[in-house]
Amino acid sequence: MVLQLLLVFALAHTGLTKVSPNFSVCLGQFYASKPPVGFTSLSGTMTPICQMYETYNNPFVASLYHRGNRSPLYSAYIPDTRPGDATGADQTFRLEPQLVDTRLPKEMMLQPATETAIRNLGLSGVAADLIKQYQAINSDYTGSNYHKGHLNPNADHPDGPGQKATYTLTNVAPMYGSLNSGAWRNNEKRVRDIAATCGRMYVVTGVVPGNNWISVNGVQRINVPSHIWSSFCCLDNNNRPIRAEGALAPNNANSVQVLSIASLQSQLKTLLGVSVTLFSNNCS
């Protein structure tokens, strides 16, 4: 409770914060500037993050992060109309310092730099332990047999800051390798091909929390999703919706079901136990 009060105080007094109570810094990542509705009704502490990379002041992706599960519930972004399936050379995963304290830098950082920033701020406690309390770290995945599955995939952006910004642990969730490298990857490419026909596309990709965990030394660290889902809203050059679809995949099966937005929301209601709205007016 004390930490939550400090977080609220910091949010109210820090103009540069990217950990925002209502995505105020990155509403442009959402269709009609309206984030999905319903997910904050789930149990646990949700933290909206406007994710920034290095000295770039524009957010590259908006993620609703579940602190208890140490993984995002969803990431929302605008893909670049980039053909193909290529990825860049930089695949170093970073952390989000402001999950520890909003006075820390707003840019995603490597763990050693994050620990240094924590010590320089004079926070009490061991820097590494403070980080681990609120988010996953790279070593959690070591030997887990799960992929770091991108919700905002790196291949949706050209090599450069937009792609590097996808390499943060608050944009990934544990995925079975067969799905991540198979049917889900094919679905991501399918959506990229559709994006090339849109004036602009808005994408929201997320997970359904499951019953399994990545554990380290007997401690539950990262929740393993039971399902992965995605949705897009395609606009023409006059910003009018012309196409919208969803996709749903069991994490432990190499198959993806393509659905209407309404059907995806119906299945998510069953899986999550809450009603959700992914796009304003269902992108229609």
Residue 122 pLDDT > 50: yes
- Sign for the pseudo-dihedral over CA of 138, 61, 245, 154: negative
DSSP state of 225: P
Q: How many helices, marked H, and strands, marked E, lie in the chain? A: 8, 12
Query: Mean pLDDT over residues 139-166, rounded?
Result: 93
Q: pTM for the whole thing?
A: 0.91
What pLDDT is stored for residue 272 in this prediction? 98
* Alpha-carbon gap, residue 232 to 244, rounded angstroms: 6
DSSP state of 99: G
- Poorest-confidence range of 13-27, 188-202, 266-280? 13-27
Question: Would you kindly state where each structural domain of the chain is located, as residue ranges?
Answer: 2-283
What pLDDT is stored for residue 80 in this prediction? 86
- For residue 57, give every residue at least 6 positions away whose Cβ sits within 8 Å of its Cβ, in sequence order, or none: none
User: Which has the higher per-residue pLDDT, 56 or 53?
Assistant: 53
Confidence class for position 134, pLDDT limits 50, 70, 90: very high
DSSP state of 80: -
Confidence class for position 82, pLDDT limits 50, 70, 90: low
**Cα end-to-end span (Å), the chain:** 41
What pLDDT is stored for residue 58 in this prediction? 85
Instruction: Measure CA 265 to chain center.
Output: 18
> Which among 143, 130, 145, 146 is positioned nearest to 207, based on CA atoms?
146
Q: Give the model confidence (pLDDT) of 9-29 as tens digits.
A: 333 333 345 887 789 999 999
Residue 159 pLDDT > 90: no
User: Which has the higher per-residue pLDDT, 85 or 208?
Assistant: 208
* Alpha-carbon gap, residue 34 to 151, rounded angstroms: 19
Q: What separation in angstroms does the CA of 234 have from each of 144, 173, 193?
A: 36, 25, 12
* Alpha-carbon gap, residue 21 to 11, rounded angstroms: 8
- For residue 176, give every residue at least 6 positions away whose Cβ sits within 8 Å of its Cβ, in sequence order, or none: 146, 147, 251, 252, 254
Q: Give the model confidence (pLDDT) of 88-98 as tens digits.
A: 556 789 999 99
87 CB neighbour count, 10 Å cutoff? 15
What dotted CATH number matches 2-283? 3.40.570.10
DSSP state of 19: B
User: Which has the higher per-residue pLDDT, 5 or 278?
Assistant: 278
Residue 136 pLDDT > 90: yes
* Alpha-carbon gap, residue 71 to 208, rounded angstroms: 11
Q: Report the chain's mean pLDDT, rounded to a whole number.
A: 91
What pLDDT is stored for residue 1 in this prediction? 37
Confidence class for position 152, pLDDT limits 50, 70, 90: very high
Percent of the chain at pLDDT > 90 equals 82
Residue 3 pLDDT > 50: no
Kindly write down the DSSP assignment for every residue of 135-192, as one continuous string: S--HHHHTTS-EEEEESS-GGGS-TTHHHHTT-BGGGEEEEEHHHHTTHHHHHHHHHH
Confidence class for position 78, pLDDT limits 50, 70, 90: very high
What pLDDT is stored for residue 18 in this prediction? 87
Q: Give the model confidence (pLDDT) of 207-251 as tens digits.
A: 999 999 999 999 999 999 999 999 999 999 999 999 999 999 999
